[in-house]
């Protein structure tokens, strides 16, 4: 555990609490909550004794069925072709399950840099090694570098699209190429698709599991946290090849026994509301993203921000020799705005910050970005 980084959101959260009035562009959360029918369904379920008892390990059959239908209709994944679905307490748990299911200590997992910090942390906790592969200047995948990074110990390549922390959306060709590479080399493709609904402009999300011959080696995870404002209810789910059913059942039974029943009842109702629930929120975020990108681009040449077509993040590069954590602390203490240092995402070659805009309303984002821009100007010049 000594090698595992401290949970950065908690570290930044501590600094924010010490500086009241700070606007957080830190945590990756949305500003809206669950659909009302989800809350009503939980209210109704409270008087049902089964809500308070252990239920099926993989998830309530009604939820698993609902998820299978969603996966088929929206993701092009037909679980009857040889995959399974497991409901977890969030996509983070699904990722940990996947790593435990496919690795032995000392195995390698390839992460594209920038990575989602909890992915690195999970791999290290499983006593495995993270092999870091850099993306290009626009945070897009570099297939040749991924190919070159595969060794006899490699068990999987992880892709996150739309991406946390860069906001990049990978093209169908790129996802297809990684999926085929994994198949050809006999390793798994772990696809984190928790931001599947969050794309802007012409960008479209492509599910790795929908690609031809993907079923036997593709593990994909999803979440209700962002799409349905469900972060505190802890509901995620994962599709995985049938041959992993036994390890996944052992891991799920040991770590979670069964997903929280009340949360699953809420999830069924949320899925009934469906994607239409998040669409207006995603449109609203598209307008906020425009503000973020245009205000931050004014920082050139002090900082640069590749356009990001998805999720609710941008990863800005700042031209300075200063340490990003020092700058992040000064931004909070002196300018009352919080961002996350790029080092948490494996960006150690230069000074980067992730700016998250999902939790903000338009008025707050303008104020927060204003503070960030003037704060960086003061610190750096």
Ligand X SMILES: Cc1ncc(COP(=O)(O)O)c(C=O)c1O
Least Å distance, CB 233 to ligand X, is: 9
Which range, of 67-75, 87-95, 302-310, 338-346, touches ligand X by CB under 6 A? 87-95
Long-range contacts: 359-363, Cβ < 8 Å, 24+?
359/24, 359/27, 359/29, 359/30, 359/31, 360/23, 360/25, 360/31, 360/288, 361/31, 362/284, 362/287, 362/288, 362/291
Give phi and psi for 263, each to the nearest 5: -65, -35
Rule CB under 6 A: is residue 91 a binding residue for ligand X? yes
Among 231, 270, 344, 351, binds ligand X (CB under 6 A): 231
If binding is defined by CB under 6 A, does position 277 make contact with ligand X? no
Q: Could you tell me how many residues of this chain bind ligand X (CB under 6 A)?
A: 13
Does 167 help bind ligand X (rule: CB under 6 A)? no
Beta strand spans in 218-279 (E) = 218-223, 236-241
With binding defined as CB under 6 A, does residue 192 bind ligand X?
A: yes
The distance of closest approach from Cβ of residue 98 to ligand X in the complex, given in angstroms and rounded to an integer, is 12
Residue 370 burial by Cβ neighbours in a 10 Å radius (0-12, 13-18, 19+): middle
264 binding ligand X? (CB under 6 A)? no
* Residue 342 near ligand X by CB under 6 A: no
Partnered with residue 315 across adjacent β-strands are: 354
160 binds ligand X (CB under 6 A): yes
For residue 379, whether the previous peptide bond is cis, meaning omega lies within 30 degrees of 0, is no
In this structure, are residues 71 and 77 in contact, taking their beta carbons and an 8 Å threshold? yes
- CA torsion 19→357→284→200, rounded to 10°? 180
- Report the candidate in 87, 69, 86 with the shortest Cα–Cα distance to residue 78: 69
CB of 334 to ligand X, least distance (A): 27
Among 90, 229, 306, 368, binds ligand X (CB under 6 A): 90
Question: Of 7 and 82, which CB lies nearer to ligand X in the complex structure?
Answer: 7
Residue 359 CB, nearest distance to ligand X (Å)? Answer: 11
User: Interaction with ligand X in 112-131: which residues (CB under 6 A)?
Assistant: 116
Coil vs helix vs strand at 160: strand
The stretch near ligand X (CB under 6 A) out of 79-87, 223-231, 325-333, 337-345 is 223-231
| Cα–Cα dist 214/210, whole Å | 7
Taking the complex as a whole, the smallest distance from the CB of residue 79 to ligand X amounts, in Å, to: 19
Please say which residue, 121 or 372, places its beta carbon nearer to ligand X.
121
Instruction: Give backbone dihedrals phi and psi of 347, rounded to 5 degrees, phi first.
Output: -90, 85
Site track for ligand X across 26-65, x = CB under 6 A? --x-------------------------------------
Chosen residue from 34, 167, 236, 324 binding ligand X by CB under 6 A = 236
Is residue 77 near ligand X by the rule CB under 6 A?
A: no
Question: Closest distance between ligand X and the C-beta of residue 379, in Å?
Answer: 27
String of contacts with ligand X for each residue 285-324, x by CB under 6 A:
----------------------------------------
**What is the Cα Rg of the chain in Å?**
20
Measured from the CB of residue 166, what is the shortest distance to ligand X in angstroms?
11
DSSP conformation letters of 24-81: E--S---S----HHHHHHHHHHTT-GGGGS---TT--HHHHHHHHHHIIIII---GGG
Residues that bind ligand X (CB under 6 A): 28, 90-92, 116, 160, 164, 192, 194, 223, 225, 231, 236
């Amino acid at each position: 555990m000594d090698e595992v980084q401290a949970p950065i959101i908690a570290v930044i959260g501590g600094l924010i609490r010490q500086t009241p009035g700070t606007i957080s562009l830190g945590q990756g959360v949305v500003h809206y909550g669950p659909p009302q029918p989800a809350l009503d369904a939980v209210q109704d379920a409270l008087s049902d004794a089964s809500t308070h008892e252990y239920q099926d390990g993989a998830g309530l059959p009604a939820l698993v069925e609902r998820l299978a239908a969603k996966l088929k209709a929206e993701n092009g994944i037909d679980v009857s072709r040889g995959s399974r679905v497991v409901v977890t307490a969030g996509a983070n748990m699904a990722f940990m399950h996947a790593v435990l299911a496919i690795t032995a200590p000392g195995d390698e997992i390839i992460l594209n840099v920038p990575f989602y910090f909890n992915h690195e942390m999970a791999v290290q906790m499983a006593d495995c090694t993270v092999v870091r592969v850099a993306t290009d200047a626009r945070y897009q995948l570099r297939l040749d570098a991924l190919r070159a990074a595969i060794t006899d110990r490699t068990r999987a390549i992880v892709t996150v699209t739309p991406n946390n922390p860069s906001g990049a959306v990978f093209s169908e060709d790129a996802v297809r190429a990684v999926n085929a590479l994994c198949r050809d080399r006999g390793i798994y493709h772990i696809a984190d698709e928790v931001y599947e609904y969050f794309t802007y402009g012409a960008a479209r999300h492509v599910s790795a599991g929908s690609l031809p011959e993907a079923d036997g080696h593709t593990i994909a995870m999803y979440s209700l946290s962002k799409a349905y404002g469900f972060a505190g209810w802890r509901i995620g789910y994962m599709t995985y090849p049938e041959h992993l059913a036994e390890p996944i059942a052992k891991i799920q039974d040991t770590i979670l026994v069964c997903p929280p029943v009340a949360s699953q009842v809420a999830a069924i109702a949320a899925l009934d509301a469906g994607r239409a629930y998040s669409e207006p929120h995603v449109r609203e975020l598209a307008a906020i993203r425009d503000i973020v990108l245009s205000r931050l681009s004014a920082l050139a040449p002090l900082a640069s921000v590749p356009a990001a077509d998805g999720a609710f993040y941008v990863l800005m590069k700042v031209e300075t020799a200063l340490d990003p954590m020092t700058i992040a602390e000064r931004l909070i203490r002196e300018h009352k705005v919080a961002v996350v240092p790029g080092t948490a995402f494996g960006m150690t070659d230069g000074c980067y910050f992730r700016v998250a805009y999902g939790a903000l309303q338009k008025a707050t984002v303008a104020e927060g970005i204003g503070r960030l821009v003037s704060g960086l100007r003061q610190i750096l010049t």
